């Protein structure tokens, strides 16, 4: 997914803008926030001046790439939540998409946890409740349809399920299971304790 370049850009400038974002995604995925503008420049195949012209500085590049990542993740979660499938399948899809996003954007979460992001970006991400609200909404449906117990503490259950994403970043089970298989096993454990 690529964000729309600023309006009024010439076609050649748009091409360079896109190259910088591609290079930045690659550099940050491999090196995290330790990636330097030089790394981005080399991967993008553009000069440093192009980066400064379009993004101002490293924080500008970080802001664009993180905004792109958030839009991608939030759009995926929203699509999974609204899919025309049973609620348990929607929950499974939300979690699977979230774990898959760790492969692409895990560096963002690691930087967030280490409080290494620019302050405004850090605050925006910390206040983003898209996944939490989606999970909570689906859990409410599962209680309403009788799948889950009525006495289940839904906010805590949603928090428990969301915590899987953080654990996935640092756990070696990523090497042993794909995201869909891990979600199936995790939901099986959760449902054994929460089923009505």
Q: Which domain holds residue 139?
A: 66-194
pLDDT at 4 over 70: no
In this predicted structure, what is the pLDDT of residue 15? 92
111 and 170 share one domain: yes
pLDDT band for position 1 (cuts 50, 70, 90): very low
Residues 46 and 74 in one domain: no
Q: Which of 1-10, 12-21, 65-74, 102-111 has the lowest mean pLDDT?
A: 1-10
Residue 192, Cα to own-chain centre: how many angstroms? 28
Domain of 46, CATH number, reads 1.10.10.60
98 with 151, same domain: the answer is: yes
Backbone angles phi, psi at 69, to 5 degrees: -65, -45
The verdict on 93 and 4 lying in the same domain is: no
* More confident call, 88 vs 113: 88
Domain match, 106 and 189 both = yes
82 and 111 fall within a common domain:
yes
Question: Rounded to an integer, what distance in angstroms lies between the CA atom of residue 186 and that of residue 196?
Answer: 17
Please say which residue of 27, 56, 85 terminates a domain.
Answer: 56
8 and 73 inside one domain: no
Name which of 100, 107, 103 is nearest 76 in CA terms: 100
35 and 87 share one domain: no
In a domain, 184, yes or no: yes
Alpha helices in 32-129 (DSSP H): 37-44, 48-55, 58-82, 87-113, 119-126
Residues 112 and 170 in one domain: yes
Q: Is 16:61 a contact under the CB 8 Å cutoff?
A: no
Q: For residues 168 and 102, is the Cβ–Cβ distance under 8 A?
A: yes
46 contacts 20 by C-beta, under 8 angstroms: yes
pLDDT higher than 90, residue 24: yes
In this predicted model, what pLDDT tens digit does every residue of 34-47 receive, in sequence order?
999 999 999 999 99
Q: Report the percent of the chain where pLDDT is more than 70.
A: 96
**Is 118 inside any structural domain?**
yes
| Residue that is written with structure tokens 């370049």 in the block | 5
Q: Are 169 and 106 in contact (CB under 8 A)?
A: yes
> Which comes out higher in pLDDT, residue 85 or 126?
85
Same domain, yes or no, for 73 and 101? yes
My answer on whether 21 and 103 are in the same domain is no
Residue 162 half-sphere exposure, CB side, CA atoms within 13 Å? 19
| CA–CA gap between residue 179 and residue 168 (Å, rounded) | 9
Q: Is residue 171 scored above 80 in pLDDT?
A: no
We report the CATH number of the domain holding residue 155 as 1.10.357.10
Q: List 148's β-bridge partners, or say none.
A: 195
96-147 confidence digits (pLDDT tens): 988 888 778 888 888 888 899 989 999 998 899 998 999 999 999 999 999 9
**How many domains does the chain divide into?**
2
Q: Is residue 174 over pLDDT 80?
A: no
**Within a domain: 61:** no
* Together in a domain, 106 and 147: yes
The Cα–Cα gap between 161 and 139 comes to: 10
């Amino acid at each position: 997914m690529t964000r729309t370049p600023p309006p009024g850009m010439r076609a050649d400038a748009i091409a360079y803008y896109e190259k910088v974002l591609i290079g930045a995604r690659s550099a940050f995925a491999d090196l995290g926030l330790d990636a330097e503008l030089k790394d981005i420049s080399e991967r993008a195949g553009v000069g440093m001046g192009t980066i400064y012209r379009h993004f101002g500085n490293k924080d500008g590049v970080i802001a664009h790439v993180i905004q792109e990542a958030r839009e991608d993740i939030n759009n995926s979660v929203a699509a999974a939540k609204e899919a025309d499938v049973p609620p348990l399948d929607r929950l499974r899809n939300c979690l699977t998409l979230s774990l898959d996003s760790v492969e692409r954007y895990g560096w963002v979460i690691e930087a967030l946890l280490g409080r290494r992001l620019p302050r405004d970006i850090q605050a925006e991400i910390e206040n983003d409740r898209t996944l939490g609200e989606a999970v909570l909404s689906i859990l409410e449906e599962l209680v309403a349809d009788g799948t889950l117990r009525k006495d289940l503490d839904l906010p805590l259950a949603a928090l428990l399920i969301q915590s899987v994403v953080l654990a996935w970043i640092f756990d070696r089970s990523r090497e042993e299971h794909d995201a869909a298989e891990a979600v199936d096993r995790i939901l099986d454990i959760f449902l054994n304790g929460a089923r009505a």
